[in-house]
Amino acid sequence: MEVFVEVATQRSFTGAGKRLGLTRAMVSKHIMQLEAKLDARLLHRSTREVSLTDAGQAYLVPCKATLAQAAEAARTVAHKGSTLVGPLRIQAPSSFGSVWLADALARFNLLHPQLRPLLHVDDALLDPIKHGFDLTIRVGGIPDSHAYAMRALAPCHGVLCASPAYLAHWGHPRTPEDLAQHQCLQFSHLTDGSTWRLSRDGEERNVRVNVGFTANNGQVLHQAALRGLGIVYNTTFLAWRDLLDGNLVPVLRDWSLPLNHLSALYPASHQLSPKVRALIDFLVAEYQPVAPWDKALQGVGYTQASVPAP
């Protein structure tokens, strides 16, 4: 498998042999034995280049995953599980990743200095297997697939809020239907961001809002709300400080927004490595039983319907 992956990467038997310290003939022998065992042709050979067959393309991805697992297992045994070492590839939403996760990850790295975290912040719902992430943090958006395993980190409460200047000019909405008369800020990754769902005492309203500003990043929308552009469908982990400082004011406080969860997502087919497990355990301890942003709001008696009071 290692020889096959190297040939597929180098597109050359000779190049793979140089990388692996094998003769071209030995590389060819390994590939023929593998093809015979699988009863499938993996490579097209020509005098100029080597290319993958359809079967080879399909076989390459699990081969890479298997080799990565084997390397991780070897590192674990070599260090007897006492030290967490090597790269740790994490993806997270921009707004959460650049603030809360960045801080937690830095402190986790101080505890395990031989780790090399690689944090990719992106609001796109990237496939962790395809993009090679060890761990993906999601706010909602959990795929309905047996290929992934998940561990909940914290509830993710929503809050509708706007700046005092905006509300002084436009007034406070009194009912969900009033949102149609306001400028609302839309997160473009939502499948139907122009319809907001609110509930109260078993009653549910789906309200079509008037979208005045759209962005694919929560921090951009948060900043737009601070500048008075409209009412934003925010998260408490992003809005908490400005809510406490009065820079943002909650609206429709007796109505609840749908509850999402902050979750850790990882490939179910991979044995959870010690470093990934350690990071998940660290984040669970950070955000449970009550996440620090919600605890700060509860500490001043914040009673937004979607954030339970203490």
Tens digits of pLDDT across the chain (310 residues):
899 999 998 889 988 888 888 898 999 999 999 999 899 999 998 877 889 999 999 999 888 888 877 766 665 555 454 589 999 999 999 989 998 999 999 999 999 999 999 999 987 777 777 778 899 998 876 666 677 888 999 989 999 999 999 999 999 999 999 999 999 998 876 656 688 999 998 899 999 998 889 998 889 999 999 999 999 999 999 999 999 999 999 999 999 998 888 999 887 766 788 999 999 999 999 999 899 999 999 887 775 555 544 3
235 and 265 share one domain:
no
Please give the model's pTM, rounded to 2 decimal places.
0.69
118 and 267 share one domain:
yes
Within a domain: residue 308? no
- Of 54, 78, 102, the last residue of a domain is 78
- DSSP H/E element including 212: strand 211-215
Beta-carbon contacts of 22 under 8 Å, excluding residues fewer than 6 positions away, are 3, 16, 30
Cβ burial, residue 247 (10 Å; 0-12/13-18/19+):
middle
26 and 72 share one domain:
yes
Q: Partners of 263 in the beta sheet?
A: 138, 152
- Domain span at residue 66 reads 2-78
271 and 146 share one domain:
yes
What CATH number does the domain containing 209 carry?
Answer: 3.40.190.10
**For residues 228 and 165, is the Cβ–Cβ distance under 8 A?**
yes
**For residues 159 and 243, is the Cβ–Cβ distance under 8 A?**
yes
- Of 213, 228, 250, the last residue of a domain is 250
**For residues 263 and 137, is the Cβ–Cβ distance under 8 A?**
yes
Within a domain: residue 181? yes
Within a domain: residue 231? yes
Nearest to 60 by CA among 7, 134, 22: 7
What CATH number does the domain containing 39 carry?
Answer: 1.10.10.10
122 and 184 share one domain:
no
111 and 185 share one domain:
no
